[in-house]
Structure 1
């Protein structure tokens, strides 16, 4: 093994792979990072158009309570003070999100927390149930009928491609209901967008490291594996094992970008479109992430789609059947030597960006401590 060119072949140039490569390079390990796309950065990749950083694979807003992770990303980029305050369009009317006193005033005309809380509690008592069996029952039990029908039902059905009564209750573990006039979507202490886009962070992480794009690991797997002592794989777990136990399920997304000859389309970075009459779930106006003053603007309509192997996998469908299947793959992966699986797809779970970074750092620390024993 000593004659291999690299210590690590890292399959996937997203956040998990890029952080892993950066940290192992600091520890004098030789890394090669490959990606089947024509760019580095995975889903956080930004494409500059008309001086605007377009979030190519959906909106990415960095937020965390973990100072260690916040300090880590700030090594590579300066963050602005963007606060995520989305709007929601329902039946022709705009509402503030997350559900807060502004939302309740727009919905009912209530002016005090007591008035709003009273309406919600009465609706929960009338429409809720102690043992919700599906998403609709869960939402009614958490927030009442008006909030469910105005903001949740049609949006969620578009997102998952199923009726709310057919979706499991666990999809909505809780609903953030605030009795303050606070439109900040996240509760985290640290939040912002890297000035210049996420590519600044990825380029910083991968500086001086060998990278190759347009490389499909599965098309030349045997030869690629010969290049390194260890493979770090961040793609789909079932694909790594050639779907031997069956195929895991996902939801996909389709993005339609439009360049407009105006300087401001919707006045906000994120506007949700709840109604079933719209096929898309939201419109992103990218310039507002970085407070852009360009003469033009770029918007993206986001369409949820059924997933197949020809499409990008975005959201794991973590129902009982898929979790059982994933556990089979996970058990087999733990028997492999010289293979590390990590990240959103390999772990079949939804990760925020700070969680992926933390997961990659933890894996590096685990390997380093074991090698020092």
Structure 2
């Protein structure tokens, strides 16, 4: 007899949501996590009365009412709207690309003026490629310029992207930028989704609500005692690296990772916004997150006398680092497909999440996928 219906490896959003759903269905679960805390990459730590996103900014957004109602049934979400700013050599630009951006870039004030400026630069770029015998963009740089023109590419895309990927834009595949969102309205809301916010009190409240009444063991590495863990449950929900699950038998998948430098400042407001991207290549970090702005608004910001910021440095993943972003180029996708074929033959293992499925996931689609799973 197995002690549990499900062993859930990983207490991030996929694992915690699955555990909640299984408990609601009357199933017995054990959740294990190799970290010393619950929550995976959405874990927060309270510092100076501020919920600090320890693994980078997480902003929940969705147009799926079922998902939004589900998370709000666990914890109420606030009205945070993601409106990042780009800093290029000390000059600020609104993101995503919209009429505010175009006014800051060129001084244009009407959609028609902005469209004419962009179309003129796009046409020049495409003509230049044709004259060089290039019929289709061969790399990210050519793709981006053909979509948005040179000014925005050079100012807001090139340096940031090269820092993020650790290689020149001319060395990155064109498909990374299939399209660029451009709005000819004065709207700084980064997401188009109907619902958006942060859990009031931080993401730990969401995870603790999902795992309420469920047995959880942290600081437990599945691979250090694999035979035992596999023996105690009828099925395994695995949210770790799929290549590691199969002993790297076809080789190791590649990732990008992020290093964080956290600073506490003796001021109530460091940069006036939650997210500021630094788009010139000479600044080594990609962005600065000021965590209090996710949950504090108006006078609340000034009433909290200190602030916490995180500088983010993107780097190539190596063994021992946290894997963040799958490198979904042709080589890695072909390798993942080999592991996926093995996974499809499993009767007692369900793979879920960005590491197990080797793809970038926003939070809402993770929950949506779990809600659709059959127990």
> If the length of structure 2 is used for normalisation, what is the TM-score?
0.96
Partner of 1:312: 322
Residue 337 (structure 1) shift? 2.4
Residue 371 (structure 2) pairs with residue 361 (structure 1): yes
Residue 265 (structure 2) pairs with residue 260 (structure 1): yes
Partner of 2:33: 35
1:289-319 CA-to-partner distances (Å, cap 9, x unmatched) read 0114311000000000110121111111111
Matches within 5 A, 1:44-83: 44-83=42-81
Which one is further off, 221-230 or 265-274? 221-230
Distance in 1 of aligned mates of 2:334 and 2:117:
41
Residue 11 (structure 2) pairs with residue 17 (structure 1): no
Partner of 1:105: 103
SS of 1:88's partner is strand
Structure 1: state its 5+ residue gaps: 368-373
Distance in 2 of aligned mates of 1:91 and 1:269:
19
Is the Cα contact below 8 Å between 1:343 and 1:360 reproduced in 2? no
Distance in 2 of aligned mates of 1:341 and 1:362:
14
Distance in 1 of aligned mates of 2:192 and 2:136:
28
Partner of 1:321: 331
Residue 350 (structure 2) pairs with residue 340 (structure 1): yes
Distance in 2 of aligned mates of 1:153 and 1:123:
16
Partner of 1:151: 156
Is the Cα contact below 8 Å between 1:343 and 1:359 reproduced in 2? no
1:67-111 CA-to-partner distances (Å, cap 9, x unmatched) read 010000001111111110000001220111111101111110001
Distance in 1 of aligned mates of 2:39 and 2:222:
17
SS of 2:56's partner is coil
Residue 89 (structure 2) pairs with residue 91 (structure 1): yes
2:210 to 187, 201, 205: 205
SS of 2:153's partner is helix
Residue 164 (structure 1) shift? 0.2
Root mean square deviation of aligned Cα: 0.8
SS of 1:220's partner is helix
Residue 202 (structure 1) shift? 0.5
Runs of 4+ in 1 over 3 A off after TM superposition: none
Partner of 1:142: 147
- Aligned pairs, how many? 363
Partner of 1:6: 4
Distance in 2 of aligned mates of 1:65 and 1:336:
33
SS of 2:74's partner is coil
Residue 233 (structure 2) pairs with residue 228 (structure 1): yes
1:225-281 CA-to-partner distances (Å, cap 9, x unmatched) read 111111110000100001000010110000110011111000000000011111100
Matches within 5 A, 1:174-323: 174-291=179-296, 292-293=300-301, 294-323=304-333
Distance in 1 of aligned mates of 2:177 and 2:308:
32
Is the Cα contact below 8 Å between 1:11 and 1:231 reproduced in 2? yes
Partner of 1:119: 117
Matches within 5 A, 1:156-175: 156-175=161-180
SS of 2:73's partner is coil
Is the Cα contact below 8 Å between 1:13 and 1:34 reproduced in 2? yes
SS of 1:254's partner is strand
Residue 354 (structure 1) shift? 0.1
Distance in 2 of aligned mates of 1:133 and 1:317:
18
Is the Cα contact below 8 Å between 1:88 and 1:96 reproduced in 2? yes
Residue 4 (structure 1) shift? 1.3
Distance in 2 of aligned mates of 1:74 and 1:92:
39
Distance in 1 of aligned mates of 2:73 and 2:183:
34
Which one is further off, 91-100 or 154-163? 91-100
Is the Cα contact below 8 Å between 1:38 and 1:214 reproduced in 2? yes
Structure 2: state its 5+ residue gaps: 130-134
